[in-house]
Amino acid sequence: MLTVHVEGRDAIQAAEGAKLVLALEDSGIDVLHRCGGNAKCTTCAVEVLAGDAGAMEELEAAALRNKGIEDSSVRLSCQIRLHGDVSVRLIKTAASTGLEPGTRPQP
């Protein structure tokens, strides 16, 4: 199992290869995923503070570019498959925005 440190919250455990967005949600964190994990909405974005979140594919890069997000530490949690421990900071949550989380992404 891998460890995901979430700033301001307890660390969570996740399986190797799990999508970060689902690891967060399945641990009770109210992460948003308004487009259902399709790299369109960017509401699932997190700031990666430490650890290797893996290479960014063009789909993710294009979504961030289209929203004017240029900070390279900001990643879409729906596009990250965990292969090591990471530390992240949540950017938006259901509680902080008042939005419904959205359709659950595919595993």
Which spans of this chain sit near ligand FES (rule: CB under 6 A)?
A: 33-35, 37-44, 63, 76, 78
Question: Measured from the CB atom, is 10 or 71 closer to ligand FES?
Answer: 71
Question: Measured from the CB atom, is 14 or 43 closer to ligand FES?
Answer: 43
Give dist(CA 14, CA 36) in Å, integer. 20
Task: Find the shortest distance in angstroms from Cβ 57 to ligand FES.
Answer: 12
Q: Among all residues, whose Cβ is closest to ligand FES?
A: 78
Question: Measured from the CB atom, is 1 or 103 closer to ligand FES?
Answer: 103
Give dist(CA 94, CA 57) in Å, integer. 26
Give dist(CA 3, CA 82) in Å, integer. 9
DSSP string over 26-38: HTT--B--TTSSS
